[in-house]
Amino acid sequence: MTDEEDEEHVRGVREGWRPLVREALAELRIIAREEGLKGYAVAQVKQKLGGLRIYVQGIEGARDRVGPVIRVARERAAVTCEECGRPGTLRVDREFIQTLCDAHAKARW
């Protein structure tokens, strides 16, 4: 997995979450290298129902290190506006469930 491939996945989410995803993917790449995970790959990164999803494959033998990285990224995204990166909350009062700050929630409503 290269930085270029990571950036393709980073583009799967809006600007506010991209730093979180970059950080998580960099940590996962380090773990894959340290653990010798030859089949490691990021399958998909996306927003689903207002939450961050990171799907990886080829992590057998390192789930105990990979899981926490993904969990922390999800938890941080859950309180981060996916548009701008400021503090946000899950907004279910709209057609698409999103995690947004007050300003973006008003702009989208």
pLDDT tens per residue across span 46-102: 999 999 999 999 999 899 999 999 999 999 999 999 999 999 999 998 889 999 999
- Give the pLDDT score at 5: 82
The letter for the amino acid at 79 is V
| Confidence at 3, pLDDT banded by 50, 70, 90 | confident
Q: How far apart are CA 80 and CA 65, in angstroms?
A: 24
pTM: 0.92
Residue 1 — very low, low, confident or very high, per pLDDT cuts 50/70/90? low
Burial 58-76 (b: 16+ CB within 10 A, else e): bbeebeebbeebbeebeee
Look up residue 34 and give its two tokens. 């340290």
What is residue 42's predicted lDDT score, i.e. its pLDDT? Answer: 95
Distance between CA 100 and CA 91 in Å, rounded?
7
Within 8 A by CB and 6+ apart from 58, the residues are 32, 37, 38, 39, 40, 41
